[in-house]
């Protein structure tokens, strides 16, 4: 075993143990509105107060969650990522114990699906006030639902178990609002309460449609996935980048949302009959992302024009995306290892968990469960799996 593999294996094992000890529950960068203190005040009914409180708690150098009584909880997207990590570990180890670990998390994930929707859906475990919309706790939103679907689809392929595929298929029955600027383009909304057009979120929905359609043979689902890809490709900028969304307040370009776009676009291309149409956009997007967001030592920059904050989420999603796009770049595995090495060296605590962010003058050591730990476990598990191929 090489030194790098040994380091990754140790980081994976210790992180998994740390998360298990806490039953995969913890705080989140965006869970400020779970504060019992804040909810007891009239401010909870004010959009501006909710937004200000969310950003204050998220950005504060000191952790205000315990002081304001924010409970530690499980998050459905986090559980989906933990399940994906355990599925990768099972593909590597092929033991009854690794299968049991994956199936336990998958069962937990299915039990977290929301009631009251036509098909399976998941949401966040906190009220979320963004600049563009408010999603109360328990609202079905596209990102946690799409990651739940990714875990279920991988489980369906691995275990040939109908329950996983049928649950993922039911997601496609949901009536999620979308914008259709042209007959051959679709942009799905982030939630039923919003018509905001966010590229990575819409493309995650397209990934679900493509992957389910590939397994069930439903051409209609594949065609809808192709329309989501066409919309996002149409909005690619000349330099190969994508902004976060179409709104005036969504014009930034960052590392991990770009990685999300590349990953989902790659998955749609692999299942699509018109993949050649999107291949050049994927290549241009990948080249922009690779050249723009990583320093020579593996440091994963957050924004295209600023390395700070160095974020473990950005590092982990980069590792996963480099591995997904291995067919585009013979150096992708080495790049994934470089990012993993830097993140382990600079953002890992000796107790086994990973810090949130390294900012310009200080490090935020808060161990967020969904944002950081679940993503890092997924990335480390995938890296170990790929090294064994």
Cα(140)–Cα(146) distance, rounded to whole angstroms? 11
Overall number of domains in the chain: 1
Return all residues near 201 (Cβ < 8 A) that are at least 6 apart: 142, 143, 146, 188, 190
Are 44 and 33 spatial neighbours (Cβ–Cβ below 8 Å)? Answer: yes
Ranges of residues in the chain whose predicted pLDDT is under 70:
1-5, 174-176, 389
Q: In what order do the strands lie in the sheet with 357-358?
A: 310-311, 357-358, 363-364
Question: For position 104, which CATH number holds?
Answer: 1.50.10.10
What's residue 1's pLDDT?
47
Cα(246)–Cα(187) distance, rounded to whole angstroms? 11
Cα(129)–Cα(277) distance, rounded to whole angstroms? 37
Rg (CA), the chain: 20
Q: What sign does the CA torsion over 132, 127, 374, 141 have?
A: negative
Residue with tokens 């990575």: 200
> Measured between alpha carbons, how far is residue 387 from residues 1, 13, 187 in Å?
10, 16, 36
> How do beta strands 310-311 and 185-188 pair?
unpaired
Return all residues near 280 (Cβ < 8 A) that are at least 6 apart: none
> How do beta strands 363-364 and 178-182 pair?
unpaired
Are 191 and 145 spatial neighbours (Cβ–Cβ below 8 Å)? Answer: no
Phi, psi of 357 (to 5 degrees): -150, 145
What's residue 193's pLDDT?
74
Cα(158)–Cα(172) distance, rounded to whole angstroms? 21
What's residue 220's pLDDT?
93
Phi, psi of 185 (to 5 degrees): -135, 145
Encoding tokens for residue 172?
A: 């496609």
Q: Which H/E stretch holds residue 358? A: strand 357-358
What's residue 192's pLDDT?
77
User: What is the residue range of 122's domain?
Assistant: 3-387
């Amino acid at each position: 075993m090489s030194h790098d593999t040994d380091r990754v294996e140790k980081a994976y094992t210790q992180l998994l143990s740390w998360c298990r000890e806490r039953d995969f529950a913890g705080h989140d960068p965006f869970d400020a509105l779970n504060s019992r203190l804040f909810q007891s005040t009239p401010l909870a009914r004010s959009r501006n107060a909710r937004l200000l409180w969310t950003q204050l708690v998220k950005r504060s150098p000191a952790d205000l969650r315990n002081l304001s009584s924010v409970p530690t909880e499980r998050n459905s997207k986090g559980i989906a990522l933990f399940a994906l990590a355990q599925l990768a570990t099972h593909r590597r180890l092929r033991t009854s114990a690794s299968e049991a670990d994956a199936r336990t998390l998958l069962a937990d994930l299915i039990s977290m699906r929301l009631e009251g929707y036509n098909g399976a859906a998941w949401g966040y475990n906190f009220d979320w006030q963004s600049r563009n919309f408010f999603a109360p706790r328990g609202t079905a939103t596209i990102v946690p639902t799409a990651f739940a679907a990714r875990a279920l689809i991988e489980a369906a392929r691995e275990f040939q178990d109908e329950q996983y595929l049928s649950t993922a298929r039911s997601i496609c029955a949901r009536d999620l609002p979308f914008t259709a600027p042209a007959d051959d383009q679709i942009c799905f909304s982030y939630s039923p309460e919003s018509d905001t057009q966010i590229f990575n979120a819409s493309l995650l929905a397209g990934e679900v449609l493509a992957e389910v359609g590939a397994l069930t043979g439903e051409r209609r689902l594949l065609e809808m996935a192709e329309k989501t890809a066409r919309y996002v490709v149409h909005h690619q900028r000349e330099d190969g980048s994508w902004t976060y969304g179409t709104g005036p307040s969504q014009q930034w370009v960052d590392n991990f949302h770009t990685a999300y776009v590349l990953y989902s676009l790659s998955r749609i291309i692999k299942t699509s009959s018109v993949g050649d149409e999107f291949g050049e956009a994927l290549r241009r997007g990948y080249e922009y992302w690779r050249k723009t967001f990583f320093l020579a030592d593996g440091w994963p920059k957050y924004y295209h024009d600023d390395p700070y904050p160095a974020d473990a989420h950005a590092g982990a999603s980069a590792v996963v995306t480099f591995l997904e796009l291995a067919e585009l770049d013979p150096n992708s595995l080495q790049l994934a290892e470089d990012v993993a090495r830097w993140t382990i060296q600079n953002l890992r605590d000796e107790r086994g968990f990973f810090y949130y962010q390294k900012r310009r003058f200080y490090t935020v050591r808060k161990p967020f469960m969904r944002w950081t730990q679940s993503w890092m476990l997924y990335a480390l598990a995938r890296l170990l799996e790929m090294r064994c191929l």
